[in-house]
Amino acid sequence: VMGSPAEGLSVAARGYAGVQPHRTPLRLRPHASCERKGMPKILIVDDARFLGEGLKRILRIKGFEAVSIDDGRRVLDIVRTGKFDAVITDLRMPQMPGEDLITRLKEGFPNLPCIVMTGHATRDCVLRLAREPNVAGILVKPLNYERLFTTLSQALDRKLQETPIVNNVAKS
């Protein structure tokens, strides 16, 4: 798109797999949490494969190590075998709803912060998720990347300090 803040950026950096980016231009430099800790490993769970892959590319540009999967049923096995620092998950997925995934992660990996992204948030759902101790943030699609990076950085900082996650509910 000529004349837009995203002009000159790759397709993956222009928007979340085709969705127009937030009005703030995406800053393509390593994120501060990557400089402090090395390369945090993030698991992205979204049944829309192209969305997960687009977010994976953006996170890698920002200095994170990222893995994307499209089936929530595989998450527990993948988290067990890989050492992930955080999970970013979609809320609505056909194989395993995001709320079920968060509950299972809380039971098996209570210190693993989860960031929920959704385009279908209801007030009741957001309030329910906000009470979950492993939910570090709830972000509304289309994502505001700076808010995502801020939420992710705060979750990783809290994990490093080994303090409980304080919910960060935000509307993009």
Cα of 151 vs its chain's centroid, Å: 9
Burial of 94 (0-12, 13-18, 19+ CB in 10 A): exposed
pTM of the model: 0.73
More confident residue, 67 or 6: 67
pLDDT for the residue 94: 85
Please check the confidence at residue 27 and state whether its pLDDT lies above 70.
Answer: no
pLDDT tens track for 84-142? 999 999 998 888 888 999 999 999 999 999 999 998 878 898 899 999 999 999 999 89
In the structure, what pLDDT confidence band is assigned to residue 32 with cuts at 50, 70 and 90?
low
